[in-house]
Chain A
């Protein structure tokens, strides 16, 4: 059997085993339900705003106006809640899948069997990684379909092909992001003597990267220091705020640096830019968007590749009898 066939067989095995795991199915169902609810909540007020804009446009065209204001609405931004759930719950699912992948081999004592076959550590790492990516692709497709259909059916606004392409890029980034957390879960579990301890370590890293570091960045935002905003409390307008903050470049750099250490923040920034969540990105073309988010793309790619190489190395050095479940 060639290497490619080995890899495909291992990927198929990973995919089937994941679907057989009850807890994974439960977590997937939770993710799909909360995504649907978040999109429903976001779209509920959207339909009336869209009807108002359509009425304005029709009236403007009827009166022969040359310049009609573009729609301030961005249907893709309604998916923000769903993307945030992928960022938080999706990462837990990915870690769980990595953990289950290793602990299953340990409990079934199939590790020694696998190592007796002509399968290299690279084949095993690539096979399990591709299998996990196939699981995530199923999950992401399900949430994307729920999101897009909710926008069309509830908000009465179907996304355009170019918006669809941007959404595709956002979900491709989600696949990389989830793939990285899968590798983290598998590495931590394989390296720990007890699988449960490995899971705790991976969850600790998840807590830090996904919840604590981005939260520090948000909390240090000068305007977030008081309810209603510090600058509003100081009766400063936008110009005043810019003028004051010009003296805080060092502080802002530190804040950005803390946020930058969070891999999750890079996924969030890229996904939000692609789905028009941030107003400032809306007038940008796709090329401009990709240029603006190149640092985030580099982070996403390099972190995923580094963790995949770590997984490969871990497989290479994992003894067939190591660890307890």
Chain B
């Protein structure tokens, strides 16, 4: 029965134009990240050449080669920003559609007339969401790979491993947002309220929490290279303790380590960054199962 729900849901999402839009946006974001990385690389070469020429004219020694500071996978550093921005928002919408469409169509009443437990229904729904997100990310990985091969003229086995690991972490980051989209439909009485509540949660996690724990202004969160901020204020000394729970910051930090675009850290430290994310996903998973068990599927949420 889980397989039936799974395949029905994947088919339903495939039939929706929204999924095509999400896939297009995801691939576009990845291509954009690659193009920006390429542009960044070209700018550094041109600025370095010009600086060397000007310094040589004044008799000054050549500046250090900035590429020694620029790792190969930094070409994709914008993806670390786009996954929490574009990917997470779309994951909320996907999760929302998974339950809301069925409620709007009144299918909820019919489904449980069949010999199917609510746990099977939830498992099928969550697995289909996880599979669709994995499909989106695999497509994005392929575009990233093409961008790296085009710009860097090759990729080592180690870099390929790092890239795969980054996308696996991104998948683990997006699944909780899809669960948020599902849960908000189960918690609210109207479709619009559910979607906007899910978006409110995304805004708080992505922009508000990092400001409280790290003093990052909203627009600073958009830049892949973040300058360290002084956290000497008494306020931050208290709130910084909650920094490990800021999943977006932990995701970005762990991604930076995996892609080798930020200073190296011990493996245990990186794993400790990922743990809160897994804990967050586990809590949402339990909540989704519990809410589906008690949800009244006889009502329709087609009203606003």
Residues of A within 8 A of B (CB): 22-23, 26-27, 30, 33-34, 37-38, 40-41, 44-45, 80-81, 84-85, 87-89, 92, 96, 99-100, 103-104, 106-107, 195-197, 199-200, 203-204, 207, 211-212, 214-216, 218-220, 222, 224-228, 230-231, 233-236, 240, 243-244, 247-248, 251, 268, 324-325
Q: Is the CB of A325 within 8 A of B304?
A: yes
Q: Is the CB of B197 within 8 A of A226?
A: no
Which parts of B23-75 form the interface with A (CB within 8 Å)? Answer: 25, 29, 32, 36, 39-40, 43-44, 46-48, 50-51, 54-55, 63-64, 66, 69-70
The 8 A CB mask of B211-242 against A (1 = contact, 0 = none) is 11001011100111101000001111000000
* Given A22-B193, A200-B18, A234-B51, 16 additional A-B pairs, CB 8 A: A27-B196, A41-B233, A87-B219, A88-B219, A99-B192, A107-B303, A203-B89, A215-B78, A215-B222, A219-B40, A219-B223, A220-B43, A227-B227, A230-B66, A247-B50, A248-B47
Q: Which residues of B contact A225 (CB under 8 A)?
A: 40, 43-44, 47, 66, 70, 225
With A215-B81, A244-B50 already in contact, the answer to whether A207 and B89 are too (CB < 8 A) is yes
Q: Is the CB of A34 within 8 A of B208?
A: yes
Which one of A106, A234, A324 contacts B48 once the chains associate, using CB atoms below 8 Å? A234
Q: Which residues of A contact B200 (CB under 8 A)?
A: 23, 26-27, 30
Residue B149 at the chain A interface, CB threshold 8 Å: no
Q: Is the CB of A34 within 8 A of B192?
A: no
Q: Which residues of A contact B222 (CB under 8 A)?
A: 211, 214-215, 218
Q: Which residue of B lies closest to A189 (CB)?
A: B192
Residue B297 at the chain A interface, CB threshold 8 Å: no
Q: Is the CB of B100 within 8 A of A222?
A: no
Q: Is the CB of B47 within 8 A of A234?
A: yes
Q: Which residues of B contact A92 (CB under 8 A)?
A: 199, 203
Across chains A and B, which 8 residue pairs bring their CB atoms closest together, nearest first? A107-B304, A234-B63, A215-B222, A84-B218, A23-B196, A44-B233, A103-B304, A325-B304
Q: Which residues of A contact B204 (CB under 8 A)?
A: 30
Interface residues on B, range: 35 or more
Q: Which residue of A lies closest to B100 (CB)?
A: A196
Q: Is the CB of A96 within 8 A of B46?
A: no
With A38-B217, A44-B234, A244-B47 already in contact, the answer to whether A103 and B192 are too (CB < 8 A) is yes
Report the minimum CB–CB distance from B39 to chain A (whole Å).
6
Binding site secondary structure of chain B: helix
Q: Is the CB of A233 within 8 A of B223?
A: no
Q: Is the CB of B223 within 8 A of A106?
A: no
Ordered by A's residue number, 29 sampled pairs between the chains whose C-beta atoms are within 8 Å are A23-B200, A26-B197, A26-B200, A30-B204, A30-B208, A33-B208, A38-B217, A41-B215, A44-B233, A44-B234, A84-B218, A87-B219, A88-B219, A107-B303, A199-B192, A199-B195, A200-B93, A204-B21, A204-B25, A207-B89, A212-B86, A219-B40, A220-B40, A225-B47, A225-B225, A226-B66, A226-B70, A230-B66, A235-B63
Complex: A231 Cα to B47 Cα, angstroms: 9
Residue B252 at the chain A interface, CB threshold 8 Å: no
Q: Which residues of B contact A216 (CB under 8 A)?
A: 32, 36
Report the minimum CB–CB distance from B46 to chain A (whole Å).
7
Residue B131 at the chain A interface, CB threshold 8 Å: no
Q: Which residues of A contact B86 (CB under 8 A)?
A: 207, 212
Q: Which residues of B contact A40 (CB under 8 A)?
A: 235
Complex: A27 Cα to B304 Cα, angstroms: 17
Residue B289 at the chain A interface, CB threshold 8 Å: no
Complex: A33 Cα to B203 Cα, angstroms: 13
Q: Which residues of A contact B39 (CB under 8 A)?
A: 220
Complex: A251 Cα to B47 Cα, angstroms: 11
Q: Is the CB of B199 within 8 A of A222?
A: no
Q: Which residues of A contact B63 (CB under 8 A)?
A: 233-236
Binding site secondary structure of chain A: helix
Q: Which residue of B lies closest to A243 (CB)?
A: B54
| A27, A211, A324 interface centre (most CB from chain B within 10 Å) | A211
Which parts of B282-304 form the interface with A (CB within 8 Å)? Answer: 302-304
Complex: A99 Cα to B46 Cα, angstroms: 47
Q: Which residue of A lies closest to B203 (CB)?
A: A89
Complex: A184 Cα to B47 Cα, angstroms: 41
Report the minimum CB–CB distance from B74 to chain A (whole Å).
9
Residue B85 at the chain A interface, CB threshold 8 Å: yes
Report the minimum CB–CB distance from B41 to chain A (whole Å).
9
Report the minimum CB–CB distance from B233 to chain A (whole Å).
5
Q: Which residues of B contact A107 (CB under 8 A)?
A: 303-304
Q: Is the CB of B225 within 8 A of A226?
A: yes
Report the minimum CB–CB distance from A230 to chain B (whole Å).
6
Which one of B40, B212, B235, B304 contacts A44 once the chains associate, using CB atoms below 8 Å? B235
Report the minimum CB–CB distance from A304 to chain B (whole Å).
22
Q: Which residue of B lies closest to A224 (CB)?
A: B225
Q: Which residues of A contact B227 (CB under 8 A)?
A: 227-228
Q: Which residues of A contact B234 (CB under 8 A)?
A: 44
Q: Which residues of B contact A104 (CB under 8 A)?
A: 304
Q: Which residue of A lies closest to B197 (CB)?
A: A23
Complex: A197 Cα to B100 Cα, angstroms: 12
Complex: A184 Cα to B203 Cα, angstroms: 20
Q: Is the CB of B224 within 8 A of A325?
A: no
Report the minimum CB–CB distance from A231 to chain B (whole Å).
8
Complex: A263 Cα to B19 Cα, angstroms: 27
Q: Is the CB of A203 within 8 A of B199?
A: yes
